[in-house]
Copies of this chain bind each other. A is one copy, B any other.
Amino acid sequence: MPKDRPPTRIQKKNRAAILEAALEVFSAHGFRGATVDQIANQAGLSKPNLLYYFPSKDAKFTALMSELLDTWLDPMREIDAEGDPLEEILAYVQRKLQMSRDFPRESRLFANEIVQGAPRMLDALSTDLRVLLEEKEAVLLAWMAAGKINQTHPKHLMFSIWALTQHYADFDVQVRMLMEGEDPFDAAPEFLETLYRRMLTPKS
């Protein structure tokens, strides 16, 4: 437990290594299923050394979550109320899909936690996510009122985007098993674009 000073070179390196290892292990086994030994092993450090940088298993998990939540919500923040409605939504879907392809461990980390009732995350979600969703819900409602996109339930629309895009990361093993070698991310972008285009394009 070093003093309250700017982090040293070693501190930066080891903290990063620990969080990377924690992501690997927590995302694969969930909080309870993961062991500190596994994380230590993955990070190439001894167990007491991990406890030197983060005082408990909980602290590691919490640090990881708060570091990732912001990044995780970025694609939604980028939805621009001034942009073209349909294109903004389609771009959001593609950003989320890319997150699932490029950061599947992060997706599974959140999925694991939420499926099990989010006991360590509900607070963060009920502030950050809730506020963000309400903001974008208002944007969607405005677009619908202006006839730019079809009328629909804005919250369920957002849920559907999360469900469809995260499914490719969270259920990766199942999807890949059923696609027999073919990469799901080859066809998914087009599939989702078509789906939301048909769903949202206003009737002429």
From B118, B166, B174, B188, contact of A114 by CB (8 A): B174
Residue A163 lies at the interface, judged by CB distance under 8 Å to chain B? yes
Residue of B nearest to A30 (CB): B30
Hey, which chain B residues are within 8 Å of A129, CB to CB?
A: 174, 178
- For residue A155, which residues in chain B have a CB less than 8 angstroms away from its CB? 178-179
**Size category, A interface:** 35 or more
| Bound complex: CA A115 to CA B153 (Å) | 28
Among A109-141, those with CB < 8 Å from B are 111-112, 114-118, 122, 125-126, 129-130, 133
A178–B76 CA distance with the chains assembled, in angstroms: 15
Task: Check B116 against A29 for contact (C-beta < 8 Å).
Answer: yes
B-chain residues with CB within 8 Å of residue A157 when the two chains form the complex: 191
| CA–CA, A42 and B198, complex, Å | 48
Check A194 for interface membership: any CB of B closer than 8 A: yes
For A188, the closest partner residue in chain B by CB is B156
In the complex, the count of this chain's copies comes to 2
Does A173 contact B122, Cβ atoms closer than 8 Å? Answer: yes
CB distance from A153 to the nearest CB of B (A): 5
Contact indicator per residue, chain A 99-111, by CB within 8 Å of chain B (1) or not (0):
0000000001001
Least CB distance from A145 to B in Å reads: 18
Residue on B with the closest CB to A151?
A: B194
Chain B residue contacts of A175, Cβ below 8 A: 159
A–B complex contacts, Cβ < 8 Å, 19 sampled: A28-B116, A29-B116, A31-B33, A32-B32, A32-B33, A33-B116, A112-B115, A112-B116, A114-B170, A125-B177, A153-B187, A155-B178, A156-B188, A159-B171, A159-B184, A160-B164, A160-B195, A162-B167, A195-B199
- By a beta-carbon cutoff of 8 Å, the part of chain A in contact with chain B is 28-33, 108, 111-112, 114-118, 122, 125-126, 129-130, 133, 150, 152-153, 155-157, 159-160, 162-164, 166-168, 170-171, 173-175, 177-179, 184, 187-188, 190-191, 194-195, 198-199
